[in-house]
Structure formats: structure tokens, C-alpha cells
Amino acid sequence: MKNRVFASLLTVLLAATLGAQTPQPKLILAGLANGPIDSRLERFDPATGVFQTVFRDQLGQLVDVAMDRSNTGFHVAFHGPPQYRISGVHHLAAAGAVATLATTAVSNGARVLCSALTTEDVWAMGTALEQGAGRVQGLTGGPSPSFVDVESFAGGAVRRIRIDHGRGIPILAINDTSGRLVSFDAFRQSKRTLASSLGTIVDFEQDPYEDVYVVATGDPAAPILAVDCASAQPVVRRFPLPTTRFPSGLNVESIALIDRGERANCDLWIAANGRLIKFEWDGVRRQLVIPTAPVSFPLPTSGTVNGMIVEGGRDGLLMRGTQPNGWTLKMRLGPTAANLRYALAGSFSAGPGIPVTPRRMINLGPDLLFFVTASDQLPSIFEDFQGDVGPEGDVTGKVSPPRPVRRAATGLTIYFAGIVLDPGVPGGIRTTTNTVGLVLF
């Protein structure tokens, strides 16, 4: 009962507003290589069908792409020439319409397949099946980044990592004997299989508003399936392609969902058979809508699309930083979040978790600090913990405790998380963030 009361503070106290109209997002495609060390990143504009080269060099084939901490640059996993077995990640900094190489981190012998940013300081890296197991590695930040083994999965490669919108924890695609999605909470050292027997997983995305995963597999006849985790027992639905429109099926390489800012439908772009093809994802019925006459565009090269994301669309990541009188908590949300309401809250613990809707929770404890911050009772210390998402999708909260408090509480860790509200989605909450800890000093 107490959890429900505290959770309601994050929703009832705020009058959510509708998002403003924003330009249609663009897609970023990694791969499309013309040789073993060809590094290529392409931008695709769905409104015009035009591709633009964002990055081109000879730094190894790019096998995955994610938005960086700023949500403007790119974090790309790469493989060097097979004879050298070099693998790792490049950070590409945005420089106008193009990107430039900023840093490179080489893995400790593992073959990196994918990456995802989980907190301000740690990237989660998935690796190929080697020595009987695939691994999740953490890549720490700082001037000397290093790879650290976090978890292993016997018999399976970690093909893709996404961050769950509702819980802020990684979801892994594991290609073992059956193909499965696994929820992995490193903080609580727990992992749980959401669905298995999916086949060889190529890529997957999460519905922007629901606990539903859209999964692409290696089955040409029915390459797209849905894993619906809304109930205690996940439901898997497959969507066979009509042979009249797709006589040879689709050999899917990568997928991306573009949120139109509507509750009902998203654009599902599929890279397959040398083309980028537009499908539709029905979020209400939770099913694939197969077009009668698909809109498609030829890819700019004959190379494989190894990863595809929405540019600037990393949603729900809470990052910590510093300011002269304390710390900052920042979110750089997707473009459709502009003008929505947000709320941040703190707690002395990162659990047991507080449900904010039947299917969403924030990993904080329901203690006095949570009550104080969620109800905005100390705005001079916890500044901008409630308000409107900025026109560019930015949120910045500030933690500015007085110096006597900081000195008395030196070494104490306070945990923070947040939500973004949207009246157009069930439960009124669009996104819950990850949990970050601040150590007072």
C-alpha cells in the first residue's frame, strides 16, 4: 500500500501535456562494408529516401551502433581483419552532419558483437561464442577504458543488447541452441529467460509504449515475431509473410522502429534483400502490418547492414554529471518527447523497486527521501526535479546540498531515477529510467 501511495506522487502531482510536432527522425545504419576493414556509417532520411555517409574509414567492419552519452555521437562495435582477431569499439563524435573518430578501445581477446549504454560510466558489450560461452562485458569510461567480464552464457553468443524502457535494465538476445531473450539485472545479479525457441535472432526492438519485443530472426518465411511480456507468461506470435508478395521471403539483417508520436502505430524499417523496406507495427493489436505495396529503397552498397538505430532516439537513460555546487542528472530523450512532463526522485536505496504502473517500475526504495523528492518539497536542493522536457528533448535536474550537509554526509550514496509521462499511453507513463548513484563528497 505504501509503495502505491509513493508511486502515485510521480503521476498525480503532474499534469501531463501532449508532445509537440517534431521532424521525422532519421536512421543510422552500420555495416554496408565493401571489404574486411571498410568502416561505414550511413544516415537514412525516411522522408526523402536519401542516404548520406556519416563516417567512412578503414578501421574494421562495423557490427553494431548505439547513440553515445551525448545522444549526438555514436558508439560502434567493430571487427578487424580475421587474421588479426582484433575487435572492440570506436567512439565517433558528431561534427555537424558527419562524425569523426574520437577514441578506440580494443577488447581483451573477445569478439564483440554489440554494445549498449547502461549507465553514465559503463557500456554493456555482447561477445561471440568463444571457448564455449558468449559473454557480457562492461566497458568502463575514463582516459584508460578497459573491458571487464560481467556474465557468461554457456553455449550462446550475445547477439544484441537493448535497454528495457520500463525497468532500465539490459535485455539480451542469446543465440544458443534455441534463440532466447534474457532479462539481465547486473545490479541484483539476476537473469531470467523471457522467451526461448525463437530461432536465430538477428535483431530486436522494444515497442515504445508496451512490454513487447519485436524480434527479427533468420527464418525468411516468417522473419518477424513478437514476444509479449505483458503477462506473467510471455506470449510469442509469429507473422508469416504472404508468398504472393514475398515469394522468396526476406533475409533480414537489421530492424528499427520509428515512433510517430502516436499511440497506435510505429514505422518498422527492415533491412533485407539489399533494400530498406517500410512495414508498420500496430502497437494496439501488437502485430505486424504487412503492406500491400511496400515502400522500399535500395541500399547504397551490397554490404550487410549489421546494426540500425534511430538517430538521437536513445530514450530513458539517466546520466550523472557535476556542476559547481553539486551534481547534475541529465536525460537526452528521443525527439518525440519534447514538451512532455517528467519527474525525478531519489532514495537511500536502489530497491526493492516501486511500481508506477502494472508493468513499469523504478528501482528505488520507498523511504523518506523518495517521498520528499517525489513531492518536490526541497526544490532548492533538488532543483528541476519536475517540469517539461525541453524542445530538443533535454532534461537536467540538479542536486545542490549545502556544504555542511555535504561534509556531514561524505561517502553516502543516494540513488536517483525518473519517469516521463505521456497521456497517450496506458498508465500515463511513457518511460522509466535506469537508476544512478551519487556518492556525496
CB contact at 8 A, 46 and 52:
no
In single-letter form, the type of residue at position 342 comes to Y
pLDDT of residue 19: 35
Shared domain check, 60 and 10: no
Give the count of beta carbons closer than 10 Å to the beta carbon of residue 320. Answer: 17
Shared domain check, 366 and 276: no
And the C-alpha cell for 282?
A: 500496430
Give the count of beta carbons closer than 10 Å to the beta carbon of residue 96. Answer: 6
And the C-alpha cell for 132?
A: 564455449
Shared domain check, 325 and 203: no
**337 — alpha (psi -120 to 50), left (phi > 0) or beta?**
alpha
Q: What is the CATH number of the domain that holds 352?
A: 2.60.40
Shared domain check, 71 and 216: yes
Shared domain check, 222 and 258: yes
CB contact at 8 A, 26 and 43:
yes
Structural domain contains residue 21: no
Total structural domains in the chain?
2
Query: For residue 130, what is the DSSP state?
Result: B
Query: Residue 6 pLDDT > 80, yes or no?
Result: no
And the C-alpha cell for 169?
A: 535494465
CB contact at 8 A, 55 and 40:
yes
> pLDDT confidence of 89, banded at 50, 70, 90?
very high
Q: Write down which residue in 261, 295, 310 finishes a domain.
A: 310
Shared domain check, 346 and 271: no
Shared domain check, 385 and 263: no
Structural domain contains residue 210: yes
pLDDT of residue 121: 58
Of residues 4, 9, 6, the one with CA closest to residue 343: 9
Shared domain check, 340 and 302: no
pLDDT of residue 151: 92
Query: Residue 316 pLDDT > 70, yes or no?
Result: no
Of residues 182, 183, 76, 80, the one with CA closest to residue 139: 76
Shared domain check, 296 and 406: no
Q: Which H or E element spans position 382? A: strand 382-383
**Cell 497517450, located at residue:** 424
- Domain residues for the domain of 388 are 2-16+316-439
Q: Write down which residue in 292, 310, 328 finishes a domain.
A: 310
Most confident of 55-69, 137-151, 317-331, 413-427: 55-69
Shared domain check, 235 and 128: yes
Residue 352: is the preceding peptide bond cis (ω within 30°)? yes
Of residues 397, 347, 396, the one with CA closest to residue 373: 347
Cα of 210 vs its chain's centroid, Å: 14
Structural domain contains residue 22: no
Choice between 39 and 140, residue whose per-residue pLDDT is larger: 39
CB within 8 Å of 12: residues ≥ 6 apart: none
Residue 302: Cβ-neighbour burial (10 angstroms; 0-12, 13-18, 19+): exposed
Average pLDDT over residues 270-296: 94
Give the predicted TM-score (pTM) of the model. 0.80
Q: Write down which residue in 287, 310, 333 finishes a domain.
A: 310
Structural domain contains residue 375: yes
φ and ψ at 3, to 5 degrees? -60, -40
Structural domain contains residue 403: yes
pLDDT of residue 201: 98
Shared domain check, 351 and 306: no
Q: What is the CATH number of the domain that holds 142?
A: 2.120.10.30
Say what percent of the chain tops pLDDT 90.
Answer: 52
Shared domain check, 92 and 63: yes
And the C-alpha cell for 364?
A: 528505488
